[in-house]
Chains A and B, each alone.
Chain A
Amino acid sequence: MSDKFTDHDIVRLYREGATEKPSAELDAKIFALAKNPVETKSQIPLQSASPIKKPALYQTWYGQLSTAASLVLVTILYLHNSDSFNEPADNANEQATNQLMEIEATGLSSIKETEQPVNNSLQKGIKQKVSIKKRSQKQVSNIMADSTLPSASSDNETTQLNKVKSISQMMPEDALEVRTDFNKIDNLLATEQSEKARERLTELLQKYPQLKADLHARYMNLLK
C-alpha cells in the first residue's frame, strides 16, 4: 500500500476488517421471537409498562401548577366582582333603613307597633345578603313592603291584607308612600279626627285610583 490512501483503499480496508457477526445466542433469541410472535406481543407491553409508572395528575408539576392557577383565577374573579355580589343586599338594607326612618318621622304612636316588623325586615335584609342572587329586585321589595306592615290589632289585619293586594303591585317608592299615608289615616281615625282622615284618604285615592278596587269597608265608610 502506498503512502497515500485512495477511496478504494479505504473501502477495501473497511470490508476486510468488517467481520463481526451477531452471536449465536442473539440469533436464537430472534428466531424464537419470529416463531412465536404471539408471546412477544404479550411480553412487550409488560416490559415497557413496568418500569414507567405514570404518576397521578396531582403529583405532576403541571397538575399542581394548573390547580394553583385555577385557584388564583377564581380568587381574582371573586374579589373583582365582590361589589356586584353585595350590591342587591345593600340596597335591601338601605330600603329597610329608609322605611324605618320614614316611620319614625311620622312621630305617631304606632311606632312601637311597627318596631318589631322593621327589625324583622332588617334581619331579612341581612339574610338576603347570603342568597341574594336567587332573588329578584321585585321580590326583595315585596318582602320589604310586607314586613313593614303594622300588625297592631286584629281589626287592622284585614285592612292591611287589602292594602297588600293592591300595594304589592305598585313600585316600591309608591308603595312606601301609600303605606305611610294609610298609617297616618289610621292614626287620625284612632284620635277621632275623621274629617282630616277623610281628606287624606280622598287625596290618596285621587293620586292612586287603583286603591279603590280593594279598599276596606272601614275606609269606604269614611268616604261616605
Chain B
Amino acid sequence: MTEIVDESLMLQYAQGDGHAFTALYTRHKDSLYRYFLRQSATPELAEELYQNVWNKLIKARSTYQVSSKFTTWLYRIAHNELIDHYRRHSTENKVITLNVEDKETEVPNETEAGYLADLQQKNIDEQLHLSQQASHLRWCLKQLPRQQKEAFLLKHESGFTLNEIAKLVGESSEGVKSRIRYGITKLKHCLMHKMGKV
C-alpha cells in the first residue's frame, strides 16, 4: 500500500479534510513529542510547547505551500518555538534543569517502566543493566549543550539528514556534523563515567 506523502496530507487538511490531519499527526506526534521532552525542563513544559506547535500548524494550514518537506516545516516551527521559549526563560531554565537532573538519576519513571516490561524475555541482570544505561543516557543527553542536543535529536530521533538539519537550524552542514560528533563523544564519556568505567 502506497503511503500518501505528508505534503499531500497537509494540502488535504488545508481544504478541510480532518482525516488527513489525523494521519499526519499520528505519523509525527511521537518523535516531535520526544524532541520537546528531551529539551525541556519538565514534561509539562514539553507538552505545552508541543501543543503550541500543532496549534500554529493548524492556524497556518490555509497559507501552507509545498516549498519544502512537510517535516522540515513542522520542525522549523518546533525549533522556533523552542528558541522563543529559551529566550523568554533563559535564567529560569537553568535552575529547573538542575532540579530535573537530580530527579532523573533517582528512579525510572512510568515510561521507563513500560520500557522495562518489553525486556521481560531477557535475563534480569541484562534488563537492569540496559535500563540503567538508557536512564543514564537520557541524563547525559540533558547535560549536552542545547545546539548539540538538538542536532543529535533531529538526526537520531526525527531522522533528518545533515543538510536538512542545517537548513532547519540555519547552520552549515559541516557545523551540524561537528555538533553531532561532539555530542556523541560527550555522551560516550558521560555514559562511561556514570557506569563507572572510567
Q: Show the binding face of A for B, using Cβ within 8 Å.
A: 1, 3-5, 7, 10-11, 13-23, 26-27, 29-31, 33-35, 37, 40-41, 44
Q: Which residue from B22, B37, B112, B191 sits with its C-beta under 8 Å from A31? A: B22
Q: Is the CB of A35 within 8 A of B18?
A: yes
Chain A residues lying within 8 Å of B69, measured Cβ to Cβ, are none
Output the least CB separation between B115 and chain A (Å): 5
Q: Is the CB of B29 within 8 A of A22?
A: yes
Could you name 28 residue pairs across A and B whose Cβ atoms are closer than 8 Å? A4-B188, A5-B187, A5-B188, A5-B192, A11-B184, A13-B133, A13-B137, A14-B134, A17-B138, A19-B111, A19-B114, A20-B33, A21-B29, A26-B47, A26-B50, A27-B29, A31-B21, A31-B25, A33-B54, A33-B58, A34-B13, A34-B21, A34-B25, A37-B58, A40-B58, A41-B59, A44-B55, A44-B59
Q: Is the CB of A7 within 8 A of B54?
A: no
B51 contacts A by Cβ under 8 Å:
yes
Chain B residues lying within 8 Å of A31, measured Cβ to Cβ, are 21-22, 25
Q: Is the CB of A10 within 8 A of B59?
A: no
B135 contacts A by Cβ under 8 Å:
yes
B141 contacts A by Cβ under 8 Å:
yes
Smallest Cβ-Cβ distance to A6: which chain B residue: B188
Chain B residues lying within 8 Å of A13, measured Cβ to Cβ, are 130, 133-134, 137, 191
Interface SS of A by simple majority: helix
Q: Is the CB of A30 within 8 A of B134?
A: no
8 A Cβ contacts from B115-166 to A: 115, 118, 130-131, 133-135, 137-138, 141, 156-157
How many contacts between A and B, using CB within 8 angstroms?
91
Interface SS of B by simple majority: helix
Chain B residues lying within 8 Å of A14, measured Cβ to Cβ, are 134, 137, 141, 156-157
Complex-state Cα separation, A146 to B3, whole angstroms? 104
Q: Is the CB of B50 within 8 A of A17?
A: no
Q: Is the CB of B18 within 8 A of A34?
A: yes
Given pairs A14-B157, A35-B18, 7 additional interface contacts (CB within 8 A): A5-B188, A14-B137, A17-B138, A22-B29, A27-B25, A30-B25, A40-B55
Interface size class of B (residues with CB under 8 A): 35 or more
Chain B residues lying within 8 Å of A4, measured Cβ to Cβ, are 188, 192
Chain A residues lying within 8 Å of B118, measured Cβ to Cβ, are 19
Complex-state Cα separation, A65 to B33, whole angstroms? 46
Smallest Cβ-Cβ distance to A9: which chain B residue: B188
